Amino acid sequence: MRVSQFPLSTLRETPSDAEVVSHQLMLRAGLIKQLASGLYTWMPLGLKVLRKVEQIVREEMDASGALELLMPAVQPAELWQESGRWEKYGPELLRLNDRHQRPFCFGPTHEEVITDIARAELRSYKQLPVNYYQIQTKFRDEIRPRFGVMRAREFVMKDAYSFSIDEAGLQKTFDAMHRAYCNVFDRLGLQYRPVDADGGSIGGSQSTEFHVLADSGEDAIAWCPESNYAANTEMAEALAPAGDRAAPNEDMRLVDTPDTKTIAALVEKHGLDITKTVKTLIVDADESVEGGLIALMVRGDHELNAIKAEKLDGVSAPLTMASDERVRAAVGAGFGSLGPVNLPMPIIIDRTVAVMSDFGAGANQDDKHHFGINWERDLPLPTVADIRNVVPGDPSPDGKGTLEIVRGIEVGHIFQLGTLYSEALRCAVLDENGKNSVLHMGCYGIGVSRVVAAAIEQNNDDRGIIWTDALAPFDVALCPINMHKSERLKAEAEAMHDRLQAEGFNVLFDDRNMRPGAMFSDMELIGIPHRVVISDRGLEEGTFEYKSRTGESAEHHPLDALENVLRGD
């Protein structure tokens, strides 16, 4: 491909509304162009990359035995009413009417449609298992689209849906998808982690997210280098610290602590070690608790985990912090002076808190704290549970090594749905005994367009994008120096371009009459992995210059070694 036939639209300056590096580089390299909030055109160069991702995903899905189909993007409301999601999905669902005022939506996902197909198509257990997938544009009316195609409203997704006769069958397909996803991200050359996730609102027993590692990622992942355990921080279990609680060393005493409303102030003004402080959070309780309030306590430097907390007996879900007035009415003191001693409500403490001794906490009187508190001496040990987020250095829940916290971009998610949709839409087949059996479903997503942004987020430098070979829109940038002054060089460049193309290299031949600096800058910005420079001087010596996008400096090779050098021999 000649640049004269494939115009680049690179920008020297960064558009001002792009915040993250992948968005900035995608705009500067001319991969995408924004139409409106969360809506982007994939320009020719960007589309080449998007198609590469699609192709790898397609090949691995096919290899796993999944069947590609293509469902309509626009879906009738009746199906969504049947599953109950027309009401549940909320404003993220783009709803529209046709000319007869019949309601439709633009599909944010396709469980309803595929289940409708499956219930018509599948009659017998002998047809199972089956796994359908498609690569298609989705629309989710996000509250706040941001970071370019990283969180767009319209985006390209690979979504797959499997149907199995029972749980064991579902587990098999789920495992096969897990392997297929690893193959995809391996081939893309990305650093990633499969991560245990919360089944969340969709339900289902098992759920794994695939995260591309990047410091700018929106999700925090707990992972253990020793065992490769990885989980969303919200999911990772915080184990009890090793060892028993130390014996009391101090007497409990009431201390005046004016203007000390936070843990930070307590540490600063009164010299307490933060690991000797306890934070008290009061939340709404469920009906089982008299008074309607319940206290949750974590160590001063730890954070409450809302997902863990709202699953506990006595805590109302969703987790709601109690109002200042209610707390004051019940306790007689406000936020900042709360603690376990004489607290008139049920208490649940974190496992770490349970092994603390000689600690400080609010005294449930304004401007006073208790120091030197000890469980089972000053007050009974309350209910103990895991209610905090893990922090770096925590023991890994699988018992091997310690956790680190890394950041990631969620690019894939596989779920076991079970019979959630198949029951609602009455999707069943006859089993071996001739009985109706509701199918077990799984669903498996890859954010294809997000993968492109995530790859850039993970691989870039101050000159621009660095594509892996699998993703690069072109393999080789062919850059002749002062070609328009030399017929000989021009002929050689043309010949080299044609020859490399014929040998299967995807070459971007810069036939613009540009100065070398500008040419190199463009090729580096758009991230072409291999650069070949030829000049009259080189031709005299029978050499060309090669530099990889990541290489330190250029190397000179004999002209006849070109293919070997590009193949990495």
Partner RNA sequence: CGGGGCAUGGCGCAGUCUGGUAGCGCAUCUGGUUUGGGACCAGAGGGUCGCAGGUUCGAAUCCUGCUGCCCCGACCA
> What is the contact surface with RNA in residues (CB under 7 A)?
10-17, 19, 34, 36-38, 92, 140, 142-147, 151-153, 155, 157, 200-202, 209-210, 218-219, 410-413, 445-447, 449-450, 463, 481-482, 484-485, 513-518, 520-522, 524-525, 533-535, 537-538, 545, 547, 554
On whether the CB atoms of residues 520 and 13 are closer than 8 A, the answer is no
Least distance to RNA, CB of residue 215, Å: 14
Q: How far is the CB of 29 from RNA (least distance, A)?
A: 9
Q: Which is nearer to RNA, 12 or 100 (CB)?
A: 12
Least gap, CB of 164 to RNA (angstroms) = 20
26 Cβ neighbours under 8 A, 6+ residues apart: 32, 46, 148, 149, 452, 453, 456
Instruction: Please report how many Cα atoms fall inside a 13 Å half-sphere around the Cα of residue 361, on the Cβ side.
Output: 28
Min dist. Cβ of residue 221 to RNA (A): 11
User: Residue 10 — φ and ψ, nearest 5°?
Assistant: -85, 150
Residue number, 207 or 280, with CB nearest to RNA: 207
Terminal-to-terminal C-alpha distance of the chain: 24
Closest distance of CB 93 from RNA, Å:
11
Percent of the chain that is helix, strand, coil (3-state, to 5): 30, 30, 40
- Least distance (Å) between residue 41 CB and RNA: 13
Nearer to RNA, 131 or 535 (CB): 535
SS3 281: strand
- Decide whether 7 or 399 has the Cβ nearer to RNA: 7
* Cβ-based nearer residue to RNA, 331 or 524: 524
| Single-letter amino acid code for the residue at 143 | I
Burial bucket for residue 202 (CB in 10 Å: 0-12, 13-18, 19+): middle
* The residue type at 311: K
- Tell me whether residue 140 or residue 308 sits nearer to RNA (CB atom): 140
Nearer to RNA among residue 371 and residue 520 (C-beta): 520
φ/ψ (deg, to 5) at 119? -70, -25
Q: Which of 452, 447, 408 is nearest to 32 (CA)?
A: 452
H-helix or E-strand spanning residue 160 = strand 154-164
CB 480, min distance to RNA, A: 9
Residue among 366 and 475 whose Cβ is closer to RNA: 475
413 Cβ partners below 8 Å, 6+ apart? 197, 207, 208, 209, 210, 444, 445
CB of 555 to RNA, least distance (A): 10
Which residue lies nearer to RNA by CB, 151 or 370? 151
User: Nearest approach, Cβ of 550 to RNA (angstroms)?
Assistant: 12
Tokens representing 454 are: 């995530």
Pairing of strands 460-461, 192-196: unpaired
Determine the longest span between alpha carbons in the chain, in angstroms.
94
